[in-house]
């Protein structure tokens, strides 16, 4: 769990980026920070890995004050994905992904094997491993960025508008891949976006910030769409709030149906296996009994 307690970030010129923030980010879930430009969402994210330090207040990870951890050490244990991937242009894809394992002095062969495994996991052809970032499409570069963030298997991932620089079709594909990955990995993810539709689709919880770094509402997508906390949140959600809520409910229904179908398939497979085993056992028993009877007759 990541906990912000009374956190404020004030710059020397007096600008307040984040104001008196109290926020608990649950482990193993996606928490989305959303709001207009200048609301402090990226500043909040970057304070988690100490790229920015708060002026006042405390940030803890699993109860430990992050100020007690050396910043480079802290960052190597936190995955970080930014817009357009942020890849090193002079490194091949496989070496981009293996960046953090190299920094942690892991065996190079092992680090590259892990990188190839992650390429497959994020939907990248391993045949691209020896190419350079400029030779990949925008969507492929973003996948490399996600793979790199996962390379050292960090418990926490910070994602700063990672899908904003790609076209809508690729963006939808990346979002779906991201949800599939999270379902398998269950990382603690802090995800920044300005897109409320993306927030509703991806987030288990959504923190809506308003200009001045004030937390306007922190809720589940369903609660946010059903009961906006104030006029700012209501305006930010826009006039299509009812449509978004309907889409969200439909998405939940589709996920529930998929889970039910998967469970039914598993039960069916188990039942078939059990029946087959019983029939096999019965057949074996019958054959043995028949053999014994025949031996008696002889």
What is the domain partition of the chain in residue ranges?
2-238, 239-288
* Prediction pTM value: 0.77
Mean pLDDT by 10 residues, the chain (298 residues): 97 95 96 94 96 96 94 90 83 94 90 93 91 91 89 91 82 88 92 92 95 95 92 85 54 62 64 53 48 42
Is residue 195 within 8 A of residue 206, CB to CB? The reply is no
| pLDDT at residue 255, rounded to an integer | 59
d(CA 190, CA 44): 10
| pLDDT at residue 240, rounded to an integer | 63
| pLDDT at residue 289, rounded to an integer | 46
Task: Report how far apart, in Å, the C-alpha atoms of 31 and of each of 16, 206, 287 are.
Answer: 23, 6, 61
What's the number of CA atoms in the CB half-sphere (13 Å) around residue 36?
A: 11
Place of tokens 């939940």: 252
Is residue 163 within 8 A of residue 171, CB to CB? The reply is yes
Count of all residues that appear for the chain in the document: 298
Q: Out of 3.40.50.300, 3.30.870.10, 3.40.50.1470, 3.30.230.10, which CATH number does the structure's domain 2-238 have?
A: 3.40.50.300
């Amino acid at each position: 769990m990541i906990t912000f307690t009374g956190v404020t970030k004030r710059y020397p010129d007096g600008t307040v980026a984040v104001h008196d923030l109290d926020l608990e980010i649950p482990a193993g879930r996606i928490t989305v920070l959303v709001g207009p430009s200048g609301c402090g969402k990226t500043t909040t994210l970057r304070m988690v890995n100490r790229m920015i330090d708060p002026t006042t207040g405390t940030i803890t990870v699993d109860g430990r004050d992050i100020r007690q951890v050396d910043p480079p050490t802290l960052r190597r244990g936190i995955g970080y994905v930014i817009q357009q991937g942020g890849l090193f242009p002079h490194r091949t894809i496989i070496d981009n992904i293996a960046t953090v394992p190299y920094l942690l002095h892991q065996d190079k062969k092992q680090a590259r094997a892990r990188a190839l495994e992650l390429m497959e996991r994020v939907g990248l052809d391993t045949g691209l491993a020896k190419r350079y970032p400029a030779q990949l499409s925008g969507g492929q570069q973003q996948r490399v960025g996600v793979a790199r963030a996962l390379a050292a298997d960090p418990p926490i991932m910070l994602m700063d508008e990672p899908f904003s620089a790609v076209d809508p079709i690729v963006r939808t594909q990346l979002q779906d891949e991201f949800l599939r990955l999270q379902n398998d990995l269950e990382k603690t993810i802090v995800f920044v976006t300005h897109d409320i539709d993306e927030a509703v689709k991806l987030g288990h919880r959504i923190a809506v910030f308003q200009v001045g770094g004030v937390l306007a509402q922190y809720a589940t997508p369903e609660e946010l769409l059903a009961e906006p906390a104030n006029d700012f949140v209501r305006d930010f959600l826009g006039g299509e709030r009812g449509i978004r809520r309907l889409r969200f409910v439909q998405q939940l229904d589709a996920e529930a149906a998929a889970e039910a179908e998967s469970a039914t398939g598993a039960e069916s497979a188990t039942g078939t296996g059990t029946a087959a085993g019983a029939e096999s056992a019965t057949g074996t028993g019958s054959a043995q009994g028949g053999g014994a009877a025949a031996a008696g007759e002889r």
